[in-house]
Every structure is written in structure tokens, then in C-alpha cells.
Chain A
Amino acid sequence: MTVITEELNNHVGAELPPFEFEISRGDLKKYAVATGQRLERYLNGDEAPLLYLFAAMMPVLPLDRLLPDGRQPDSGLMPPLPLNRIMAGGSEYQIHRKVYVGDVLVCRQKLVEVFEKSGSEGPLLFLIFENRFETRDGEPVVTERLTRIAR
């Protein structure tokens, strides 16, 4: 018996409103120090390391909207799930060009696929999200395919 409901299937294709953000030298320098970068172009804040983009998707919310464990509430992209425990499945990036200080990027987030596999402890539900980073003109910069696993 499948755990994929019609409601879940109908959620495939859901998108968040796109948002813009500017690559700031100060933020790049802080990120470089915090992650232990050693190359000058990152320490100087001239260029963004790839995984700096993870930070761009973290919403800035008032303190009283944070969950008791500190996390931000899930975005509208996460569908209602029949399984309760969510695990990170990994990320795959396609890099079309480097990201530099001063770039203004648009981020588009979408749930693109849901599928099921059998695990040793029962069904596993795979949710595939696509996060696209583009210039304002629509030029692709980085595309991330992010997997979450529910069980």
C-alpha cells in the first residue's frame, strides 16, 4: 500500500514566491571565517563559496515565530506528510557561473517530485526540491536539487 496520497501528489509543482537578495561583502567575509576558508578570494569577500547560497534561503523571522527547538517553521513548500520523521537526503548542484560580491540573485524554490521506496523499517518517502538561483535577467547561476526523506 502506498503512503503517497492524492493530496500529496497534488502538492507536486508547488512553488514559493521568488525573492531577490544581494551578495554582500560583509556577509561573505563572515561566512568565510565561520567555515574556515583559506583562499583570499573568499576571505576578502570577493566571491561566494558554493554553499554560501544555503544561507540565502534561511528566512529572517521575528523571534516569536520561531519553533520551540529554534527552527524556522517549514515553508509552504513542504506538503502535509503521512510520515513524521524528516531526514536530509543530500544536495546536487549544477554551477553555471561563479557568484561574486554585488551580484543580485533571484531564488526560485519548487517541489518537483515525490516518490516512495521501501526501507528496512517501512516505507520511505522522497521529496525532491529544486532551488534555482538566477540573475534578474533570468541567466542561470546555480541550480540545486535537494532531497528530503520522510519515514
Chain B
Amino acid sequence: MMTNRIEVGEQLTGRTWRADTVQLFLYNAAIWNPHRIHYDLPYTQEAEGHPQLLIDGPLQGDWLTQMVYEWLGESGTLTAFSYSNRRAAYVGDVLSTEGEVTAVDGDTVTLDLRITNQRGEITTVGNATVVIESGR
């Protein structure tokens, strides 16, 4: 939950994700993505050389936006967002979202965001710009 006064360095409340095959199946169906690397393990390992099914890059991007939305609650609006996937993430990985306030300029707040795996490696980086409603 957001504090009354927003200060540089404030941490967003992160979340830990352990996507399993059921979540990958539902997500890829929801976005109509038939790419076999997200549901066909023999193909993924034998033909593509990955150790496990891959967790979609845009799903990780969505997880970063969720952290921002939950931090904002009803008191602000997301006006800009970016993300970039830096390394593959697989079923079985424990992925944690993290973020902090890096700039406050009036009602405009800039956030740095990232996802790290259980080895402490960054899989996705991002940032967001939000506008906080005046009087909050």
C-alpha cells in the first residue's frame, strides 16, 4: 500500500511467481499464442534445446504492471510503461517482482522495476511513469 508521502527510494511491494504448466496453458490460450515452447515439453527440449517450458516474456511484463497497479490502488494512473526481457525464464523458476521509486516531480512518479529468478539473476527489467491524483 502506498504511503501518504511518496519519496525516492520507496519500495513497491513485490510478489513471488511460480508459474506452472497450468498457468502457462491458460495464459497462452488467453492471448491466443500457439507457440509450442510454452506447452510442448518434448519439442521444447529436443527441437529447441531448452531445459524446460519457457515463461512468456509478455507475461513477465504483465507481472511488472500488476505490481504498479497494486501500489497505485485507486489513487493514480499509469501513463507510461516499458519492459525488456533479458534472459529466459522457465517453468520451475521462482520469479520475484521488485520495484522502487526513482523520481518524484510534482504529481509524476517514476518507478524502476525488475524480475529476478531464484539465482538472483534478472530476467526482465522495466520502468513506469505514474501520475498521482492531487490531494492524495
Known contacts A72-B34, A90-B83, A94-B79; A49/B62 CB under 8 A = yes
Chain B residues with CB under 8 A of A60: 32
B80:A69 contact, CB within 8 angstroms: no
Q: Which of A36-88 contact B (CB under 8 A)?
A: 36-39, 42, 49-51, 54-55, 58, 60, 66, 69-72, 88
Please, which residue of chain A has its CB at the minimum distance from the CB of B48?
A: A69
Q: Which of A89-111 contact B (CB under 8 A)?
A: 89-95, 98
Tell me the bound Cα distance from A70 to B28 in angstroms. 12
Choice from B43, B66, B84 contacting A35 with Cβ under 8 Å: B66
Known contacts A31-B30, A88-B57; A36/B23 CB under 8 A = yes
Chain B residues with CB under 8 A of A33: 26
A36:B66 contact, CB within 8 angstroms: yes
Choice from A49, A70, A90, A98 contacting B85 with Cβ under 8 Å: A90
Chain B residues with CB under 8 A of A31: 30-31
* Residue among B29, B31, B65, B69 facing the most chain A CB atoms (10 A cut-off): B31
A69:B37 contact, CB within 8 angstroms: yes
B66:A89 contact, CB within 8 angstroms: no
A38:B70 contact, CB within 8 angstroms: yes
For the complex, is B61 an interface residue (Cβ under 8 Å from A)?
Answer: yes
Closest beta carbon of chain A to B129's beta carbon, Å: 9
B82:A93 contact, CB within 8 angstroms: yes
B65:A70 contact, CB within 8 angstroms: no
For the complex, is B35 an interface residue (Cβ under 8 Å from A)?
Answer: yes
Please, which residue of chain A has its CB at the minimum distance from the CB of B81?
A: A93
Interface residues of chain A, those whose CB is within 8 Å of chain B, are 27, 30-31, 33-39, 42, 49-51, 54-55, 58, 60, 66, 69-72, 88-95, 98
10 CB contacts below 8 A, A to B, read A27-B30, A34-B30, A49-B69, A51-B61, A70-B35, A70-B36, A89-B84, A90-B83, A90-B85, A95-B80
